[in-house]
Amino acid sequence: MTWFSLPALLGGIVIGFSGLLLLIGVGRIMGVSGILNNLLSKKGMTDWRLLFVVGLLISPWIYDVVIGSLPSVEVTQSVPLLIIAGLLVGIGSALGSGCTSGHSICGISRLAPSSLIITGLFMLSGGIAVFILKHLIGG
Amino acid sequence: MRLIIPFISGLLFGVGLLYSGMADPQIVQGFLDPFGDFNPALLWVMVGALSVSVIGVIIARIRRKTLLGEPLLFPVNSKINKELVLGGLLFGAGWGLVGICPAPALVLLGRGMWEGAIFILAMIVGMKVVAYFKR
């Protein structure tokens, strides 16, 4: 294990720029769960949220064309686990008013106490889930 | 510009997720696994992202308007209550189980992986369940 990862730092800087751009360009916080939730409930087809989601969806293609060699990804989780996890993430983000992008990046950067606390809770229960899954069940 | 900015923002977000490794569930789970094969990458992603997005917050606070002169919608800080705590714990549990959260799920779907679609559909059902009971 290496302690420092330059790609992680640089990728993080790019993610930070995307949040900065949305905040000072559109005046909105980059929170993906809220964007998806609002997109589905009431907004029209020319909404900024739809364009943001389209940008995210085609990013792998742009990455492949511009940067090249898209890193290979394998999702090994079973379908029932994906469904349970998706439900928990949906319920949790709706109750907690946000997900990792909105709270852990945008919320912390404006020093919102609720975002700092919920980020700690994400990591605590996430750590417990991984511990149970990988070390107790051995999945 | 109103339409290009959010598109570019989404694009940059996805590219950043891919380049940093955060679109890979194994790398995310590696961060949440200090007793196993720990991978600190997520920490460096947060250092990079926060150092830039703080600048955005400072610009927004000084200007009070967007680059296009429109009003800035700063969220009202969510209250620290039982809902926030429960929401955070449930979200983290789902995130840890599969190493996927909303934005990386969209990136997975964008590269044609059906696992991303299943996760997103389940997530939308979860959001709708909460909306139903909150009415």
Q: What pLDDT is attached to residue B103?
A: 98
Distance CA B101, CA B57 (A): 24
Identity (one letter) of the amino acid at A106? Answer: C
Percent of chain B predicted with pLDDT > 90: 84
* Per-residue pLDDT reduced to its tens digit, B47-106: 999 999 999 999 999 998 999 988 887 777 788 999 999 999 999 999 999 999 999 999
Alpha-carbon distances of A122 from A90, A104, B18, B88, B91, rounded to whole Å: 13, 9, 21, 5, 6
Using a CB-CB distance cutoff of 8 angstroms, which residues of chain A are in contact with residue B37? 1
Please tell me the distance from the alpha carbon of residue B118 to that of residue A104, in angstroms, as a whole number: 24
Residue B113, pLDDT above cutoff 60: yes
Let me know: does B40 contact B31? Beta carbons within 8 Å. Answer: yes
What pLDDT digit, counting tens, does each position of A48-93 carry?
999 999 999 999 999 999 998 899 899 999 999 999 999 999 999 9
Give the per-residue pLDDT at B134. 87
Complex ipTM? 0.96
Q: Measured between CB atoms, which of B32, B57, B91 is closest to A110? A: B57
pLDDT digits 0-9 by tens, A34-53: 999 999 887 666 689 999 99
Q: What share of chain A is helix, strand, coil (3-state, %, to 5)?
A: 75, 0, 25
Of A8, A46, A56, the CB nearest to B107: A56
